[in-house]
Amino acid sequence: MLEFQATVRRGTLDLGVEFSAPAPGVTALFGRSGAGKSTVVALLAGLLTPERGRIVIGDQTLFDSARGINMPTEERAIACVFQDARLFPHLDVRGNLRYGRQRVRDRPAPINEDEVIEMLGLARLLERRAHQLSGGEKQRVSLGRALLAQPRLLLLDEPLASLDAARREEVLPYLERLRDEIRIPIVYVSHAFDEVLRLAEHVVLLEHGGVLASGPVAQICLEPALHAIAGEGVMGSVLEGDVVGYEIDEGLATVKCGELMLRVAVPAAPRERLRIFVPAGDVVIALNEVKDVSTRNVLPVEIVHLEPLEGSVLLHLDVRGRALLARVTHSAVRELGLAEDVQCYALVKAVAAQGRRIERRTEPRPGLGQSAGAG
Partner 1 sequence: MSPYALSPGEWQAFWLSLDVAARSVFFSLPVAILVAWVLARRRFLGRTFVDAFVHLPLVLPPVVVGYFLLLLFGTRGPIGGWLKSTFDLQLVFTTAGAALATAVMSFPLVVRAIRLSIENIDPGLEDVARTLGARAFDRFLSVTLPLMAPGILVGAVVAFSASLGEFGAVITFASNIPGETQTVPLALYTALQTPNGDVAAARLAVLSVVLGLAGLLTSEWIARVLRRRYGR
Contact footprint for partner 1 (CB under 8 A) = 45-47, 73-80, 82, 84, 86, 88-90, 99-100, 103-104, 129-132, 145-146, 149, 155
Nearer to partner 1, 149 or 197 (CB): 149
Nearer to partner 1, 49 or 132 (CB): 132
Q: What distance in Å separates the CA atoms of residue 195 and residue 87, rounded to the nearest whole number?
A: 23
Nearer to partner 1, 119 or 149 (CB): 149
Q: What distance in Å separates the CA atoms of residue 205 and residue 216, rounded to the nearest whole number?
A: 11
Give the dihedral of Cα atoms 266, 271, 273, 276; nearest 10 deg: 30
Say how many C-beta atoms besides its own lie within 10 A of residue 279's C-beta.
Answer: 20
Q: What distance in Å separates the CA atoms of residue 364 and residue 372, rounded to the nearest whole number?
A: 14
Nearer to partner 1, 122 or 205 (CB): 122
Work out how close the CB of 229 gets to partner 1 at its nearest, in angstroms, rounded to a whole number: 27
Work out how close the CB of 153 gets to partner 1 at its nearest, in angstroms, rounded to a whole number: 10
Residues 6+ apart with CB under 8 A from 73: 45, 46, 47
Which of 311, 308, 310 lies closest to 338, judged by CA?
308
Work out how close the CB of 149 gets to partner 1 at its nearest, in angstroms, rounded to a whole number: 5
Angle at 208 (CA atoms; ends 202, 211), nearest 5 degrees: 30
Nearer to partner 1, 77 or 314 (CB): 77
Work out how close the CB of 143 gets to partner 1 at its nearest, in angstroms, rounded to a whole number: 13
Evaluate whether 218 touches 260 at the Cβ level (below 8 Å).
no
Q: What distance in Å separates the CA atoms of residue 305 and residue 271, rounded to the nearest whole number?
A: 33
Nearer to partner 1, 155 or 171 (CB): 155
Residues 6+ apart with CB under 8 A from 362: none
Q: What distance in Å separates the CA atoms of residue 283 and residue 266, rounded to the nearest whole number?
A: 17
Work out how close the CB of 64 gets to partner 1 at its nearest, in angstroms, rounded to a whole number: 20
* Burial class (CB within 10 angstroms; exposed 0-12, middle 13-18, buried 19+) of 286: middle
Work out how close the CB of 150 gets to partner 1 at its nearest, in angstroms, rounded to a whole number: 9
Q: Which amino acid, one-letter code, is at 301?
A: V
Nearer to partner 1, 152 or 296 (CB): 152
Work out how close the CB of 306 gets to partner 1 at its nearest, in angstroms, rounded to a whole number: 47
Nearer to partner 1, 88 or 293 (CB): 88
Work out how close the CB of 147 gets to partner 1 at its nearest, in angstroms, rounded to a whole number: 11
Evaluate whether 340 touches 352 at the Cβ level (below 8 Å).
no
